Chain A
Amino acid sequence: MAERYWRAAAPKASYEVVIVGAGGHGLATAYYLARNHGITDVCVVEKGWLGGGNMARNTTIIRSNYLWDESAAIYEHALRLWEGLEAELDADLQFSQRGVMNLAHGLQEVRAGVRRVEANRLNGIDAEWLTPEQVHERCPIIDTSPRLRYPVLGATFQPRGGVARHDKVAWAYATRASELGVDIVEHCEVRGFVRGPGGRVEGVETTRGRILAGRVGLVAAGHTSVLASLVGLRLPLQSHPLQALVSVLYEPVLDTVVMSNAIHVYVSQADKGELVMGAGIDAYNGYAQRGSFHVIEHQLAAAVELFPIFAHAKVLRTWAGIVDVCPDASPIIGPTPIDGLFLNCGWGTGGFKATPGSGWVFAETLATGRPHPLAAAFGLDRFTSGALIDEHGAAAVAH
């Protein structure tokens, strides 16, 4: 990372494009607008500090092993961008392809796992099916014995999956976008929209004044519904707390990412030594960035069950983000019924891994007004036609 980060910009009166939300997806969108489409008259407005929402709160897992063609295509596109991103942004993102393992604990999970591995391979995505013995070989600290309440019967494994340092990703996109001329305005909350003839959205009203825009993109994760409601737009989204935690710092014990949907835990170990863990979302709608403690307790029970070596580990800190969840666990990317207003939301529990791909395709949408081919299936119209992209199996507890 260069020794200069993004400029602190004051908003101008008008831009070609205004992006609401300086999280990973919003910043990536701004960067690719400038880089791929030469559109630099762009402003990213952010209510709080840059990258301070879900970007600062996720467990940084990256993978592309989704079941359906449409999801596989967009997530794999993202993963390929990840693989060149440190060079592209000239930044150390601590991108580490340490592999991602999804454990199967029941016969149906084995069937679903094999199905996903085979689908992935045919879609050009690296994927392996591991037997319990191979799980043990790859990650000896997992208890693969039959004494487990739900024994490990196998796992899918994506070697190219891994993790990256979330903050550095946001900062690198911000810095490079800023260098290309994009204005990034922090502590600037959108309170309303400027409406033109026919209800067309022509800008935003913010705590730092009115900003006009040719096109406005909402990339505000858990708060997207709140913003959309300002123009009377109702969305198929519900916002829930999603909790995560890290342990005290330990010497390395885990060199891959392990996820278990059935017993509700996923874990990796950060370079600094913390075990980074997450579980399921809290059931109720909530914007308070905190969840209920029994969810954490349940997740820890699962963790010590699966990893006996964690018997002496301790929780260092817990937190929650606000995830916007779609009925089919897939995102919404594209135009809205309101002219001038575009959406990139509904990434639910799995947005981080999509960051580069999400920005790439949404930039094209904001540049052209049309969906990128990779995003075409992810429009709002699918909720009318019924052509959902049901990724509950792949998204499950998260990611």
Chain B
Amino acid sequence: MLQIPCPWCGPRDEVEFRYGGQAHVAYPEDPAALSDDDWGAFLFFRDNPKGPWRERWVHVAGCRRWFNAVRDTATHRLITTYRLDEPPPELP
């Protein structure tokens, strides 16, 4: 049961959240202009590092807001969370 600091509500138990995978994967400006390869890459291919990375969560049982987090997948340690309108922090 991770403890996740929602930027709006403060620290809450993992069961209040839903996971959203890798952060900062923007929907393409013009999907029609992408090749099948590029579209496939957008749809299915993601980073999957062992260590700190940026990921998304949504506080479904709280404020229902999406936000981003830096979390270390090797230790599960949540390093920081930040709002969608905040610049992504450097990875440690």
Contact = CB atoms under 8 A, between A and B. Distances in A.
Contact of B50 (A234, A287, A293): A287
Given A285-B55, A285-B73, A238 B21 contact: yes
B24 interface: no
A386 B40 CA distance: 8
A383 B74 contact: no
Contacts of B37: 384
A288 B44 CA distance: 24
Given A225-B48, A284-B19, A383-B40, A293 B1 contact: yes
A309 interface: no
A276 B77 CA distance: 29
Given A285-B55, A288-B75, A383-B40, A234 B47 contact: yes
Interface residues of A, number: 26
A372 interface: no
B64 interface: no
B36 A226 contact: no
A48 to B, nearest CB: 14
- Main secondary structure, interface of B, reads mixed
A384 B19 CA distance: 25
A286 B55 CA distance: 12
B2 A284 contact: yes
A283 B73 contact: no
Contacts of A283: 18-19
Contacts of A327: 43-44
A341 interface: no
Contacts of B83: none
A237 B74 CA distance: 16
Contacts of A239: 48, 50, 73
A284 B46 contact: no
Most A C-beta atoms less than 10 A away, residue of B14, B48, B49, B76: B48
Contacts of B47: 225, 229, 234
Interface of A: 223, 225-226, 229, 234-239, 283-288, 290, 292-294, 324, 327, 383-386
22 contacts: A225-B48, A226-B49, A229-B48, A229-B49, A234-B41, A234-B46, A235-B45, A235-B48, A238-B46, A239-B73, A283-B19, A284-B55, A284-B73, A284-B76, A286-B76, A287-B73, A288-B73, A290-B76, A292-B2, A294-B1, A383-B45, A385-B36
Given A288-B76, A384-B36, 18 more contacts: A225-B48, A226-B49, A234-B41, A234-B45, A236-B45, A236-B46, A237-B46, A239-B50, A239-B73, A283-B18, A283-B19, A284-B73, A285-B21, A292-B2, A293-B1, A327-B43, A383-B44, A384-B37
